[in-house]
């Protein structure tokens, strides 16, 4: 019996060492290792991606299976790339409903301008920014989305809130990419959380609150008219 337990424990330790060793050299093994540890510790994180490029495959697969997608982002340049192009194509075919939150660039008197705050923050390490550049880029991306908004399956609202990061929520997962004070959002890691956990519910709650408080593109257009 003692020999059996010793062999059993040795096998477990060996297995852990193998997994950790593989994790040091394989990106896929890192994701597996992260998922295993998270489940053992009852943490709702599913994967950690070092960059947006690493997350593209999983995002595309998730988008294909989703009927509802919610996106909060600080600029929206990614909407013009393939991963989101496929999502919007599905929206045009009425097979997915997409809600988008982008920062407000036309504020009422006295409101704090969080977009300008982020613009000035980025300008400290990227001289291309500052003096309203971020706001102009956001407005360009709003124009890009117009053809998808006409389908009725893509909705857009604007928010005035700190630029904390990009949030993407599907029926199964929430993806969060934090915006750091010293780096572009495109250079940040992406954290993937499973539905049913506290982090998923937290990001979903934040999105719904900002969505409720935000103004739709239609109401803004009528005010401008």
120-153: pLDDT as tens digits: 999 999 999 999 999 999 999 999 999 999 989 9
Cα 77 to the center of its chain, rounded Å: 13
CATH of domain 44-224: 3.30.870.10
d(CA 79, CA 85): 7
3-state secondary structure of 164: coil
CA dist list (Å): 59 to 130, 162, 191: 31, 25, 12
pLDDT tens, 106-125? 988 889 999 999 999 999 99
* 199 close to 45: Cβ distance less than 8 angstroms: yes
d(CA 77, CA 75): 6
- Which token pair is 83? 């991963």
d(CA 199, CA 179): 17
pTM value is 0.80
Span 151-173, average pLDDT: 96
Q: Is 18 left (phi over 0), alpha (psi -120 to 50) or beta?
A: alpha
d(CA 59, CA 65): 10
Residue 8 has pLDDT above 60, yes or no: no
Nearest to 154 by CA among 73, 207, 106, 89: 89
Span 153-160, average pLDDT: 96
* 38 close to 45: Cβ distance less than 8 angstroms: yes
């Amino acid at each position: 019996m003692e020999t059996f337990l010793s062999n059993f424990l040795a096998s477990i330790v060996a297995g852990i060492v193998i997994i950790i060793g593989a994790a040091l050299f394989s990106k896929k093994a890192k994701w597996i290792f992260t998922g295993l540890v998270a489940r053992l510790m009852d943490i709702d994180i599913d994967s950690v991606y070092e960059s947006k490029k690493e997350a593209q495959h999983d995002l595309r697969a998730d988008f294909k299976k989703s009927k509802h997608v919610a996106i909060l982002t600080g600029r929206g340049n990614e909407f013009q790339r393939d991963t989101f192009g496929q999502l919007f194509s599905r929206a045009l075919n009425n097979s997915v409903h997409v809600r988008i939150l982008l920062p407000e660039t036309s504020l009422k008197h006295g409101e704090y301008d969080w977009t300008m705050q982020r613009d000035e923050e980025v300008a400290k390490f990227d001289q291309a920014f500052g003096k309203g550049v971020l706001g102009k880029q956001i407005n360009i991306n709003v124009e890009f989305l117009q053809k998808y908004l006409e389908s009725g399956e893509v909705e857009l609202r604007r928010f005035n809130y700190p630029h904390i990061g990009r949030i993407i929520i599907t029926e199964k997962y929430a993806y969060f990419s934090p915006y750091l004070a010293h780096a572009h959002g495109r250079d940040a890691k992406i954290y993937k959380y499973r539905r049913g956990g506290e982090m998923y519910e937290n990001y979903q709650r934040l999105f719904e609150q900002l969505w409720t408080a935000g103004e739709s593109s239609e109401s803004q257009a009528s005010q401008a008219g």
